[in-house]
Chain A
Amino acid sequence: MKYLFYLLHLLIPAVIAVEIFLYAVSIQFRESALQNLNALASIQKSRLEEMLGSEYQRIEGITSRTALRNYLKHFLKGDDSLKANGMRRILEDARRPLHDVSEIFILDPQGQIVVSTRESAGEVSPVSARIFSEAKKRTMVVPLETKKAAEGGVSEKSLQLLLMGPFFQGNELIGVAGLVTDDSVVTRITSDYSGLGHTGETLIARRNKQGDAEFVSHLREPEHPAAGVNVPMHRLNDPMIQALMRYEGLLTLAKDYRGQPVFAAVRYLQEEDWGVVVKIDQKEVLRPVRELRFLAYICLTLVMCLWSLMGRMLWFREG
């Protein structure tokens, strides 16, 4: 009994020492992961800003065409089908070299379709009144969610980007141009998982009408039940909600859309009111610490066994 008490005496400080050591190691792992996430978030944000910049230029490449503006101005004065054909020709010419563009259209200042590269007006991508009124003031990029038929007849969600910009003749607004592209640029940015391990990902979301976060990027775990669901605005511990609250920084106490504890770096894109989150599961970051703990306790047990064996031998020899 006395001997067991003696062993326990040794065990408690050893366990405390191991735990302190592991705590220090976990802080190191956490800090290095956060540093990494912060750098990645800054890089992803600038890549997105660059992408938005080039998308703005693309739409301005349409709205700055003098011939198109002249045609549009004359078209608005009187319904002239020749002018519409001229505009369609220009739009077709503009669309041809742009392989990711599926459609270019022009709306009049009232939001009515004037001309589109699509055959019938019914096929033109829908533009909500809110987007249209914003597009009359500035160039913008809006993620469009469409459903496309996948193999087996099941329709799957597909993302497209709608680029919109106003047509001005002098200071007078004469229309709004729209350009629908696939989301390959956004996908290229978000599907780059370098430095993000097995669970890390970059998420982009916009605020919907209800103020909730709606993802505009593909998720790494699309089959997860929470993947297609918007994140409600009141869930303040979700990193995406923090980003849409315009917080820019690091989060260590956050839970992502799956409810998993994550380390996250969040950024906000003021131009489009998008939130950007680069996150990784805490479980993955701290896995080496768990493994180290397992190893440390195995070693401790072995040492204690050896120690007790030696101690017992000595004890009984003396006894």
Chain B
Amino acid sequence: MSHRGLLKGVRVVDFSWLMAGPSGTLLLALAGADVIRIESTRSPDNYRKSFSKDGNPDCSPLFATVNMAKRSVLIDLKHPAGLSVAEGLVEKADLVVENFTPGTLDKLGLGYTRISERNPRIVMVSASAAGQSGPKSHFAGYAPHFASLAGLAFLTGHPDGPPTRFSRSLDARVGTYIALAALAGLLSVRQTGQGMYLDVSDQEVVASLIGDVLADAAATGREFVRNGNVEDGRAGAGCYPCKGMDQWIAIEQDNATEWQALCRAIGRPDLLADPSLASQEGRWAHRQQIEAAIGEWSRRLEKPDAVRLLQEAGVKATVVASGFDLFTDDDLHARGMWQPIEHKALGKMWVVDSPVTRSPRNGGGEGVAPAPLLGEHTDEVLREVLSLSEEKIKALRVEGALR
């Protein structure tokens, strides 16, 4: 079986929207789960609305790059008949995912207590800014806010600059943990026969990903600060400019051998001969001189040439990659990380595959199905999962339950 089929047979009813929840169900969909997104024309996903071409909810590239391989069903959850359709789907599902403000699904009658009565084996994963319980559970918040509550915003940036405003990438990190929590829940059901509710806190997700710094802070009592790309005590490592606008490389260098290699690579034997720079401490004391020497060298070179020269000399170096660099990277294409898809409204486009279940190297695996149009699979899912007749579906549509 291919990696893509590992979750075949797992049905996910996905009430999530925007970025965090959909990123999680994307990982599940790309591992073979049947992810059914519950959407509504009354309140469409803002990623369909705000980022679409001409306001057409089917023409949002942003939505299309995070909802591949899912199905979309239109249901008005505030319509009683719509609510029973949703309940019917949940009854036939293994997993429910949502990332509304805490309490929203409860108010709709789709909270865990209610749905577990109808489907005791259901796993439900919620994600919210600070979790469903506790003094800050009512905090509304997006990525910049939970990054702030977890310490990452404070820890990222230049020493003389402001804390960093994080955005979608942190939602995607929440998504990875949502997918992981979902599997923990599904494994638990196998073990106990009982469903499970898992309450993911976005704040905790970010704190978990800087848990190393938090543990150091707890053990030492030291206050950690943002320091650009500099690691204490290490000179000659960080980001350096190359030829052209906004072109950069990253260098790592932390021992005598690498220091010698660096001096050779940048053509500065004089630095190597300087006794004041012989030790790590000496280099740290004179770091401005070293930074200037590397920058002077790197500015004259194209980014890939600088990296090649450094690597060949034995220095660890990498380009600071832009969207252009990553899209034109042969290795990423060969690894199958870039997948071409044919989207029904947007046409041919490129998406980034799952880093876990991507196709095998140099293709040969299954491609990625495109993101659904709004409500594209309503009839199909209602027929297939709930065995509803065409007449019944038509009647539901007429009474306004499927919009």
A and B held together in a complex: no
| A interface residues with partner B (beta carbon < 8 Å) | none
| B interface residues with partner A (beta carbon < 8 Å) | none
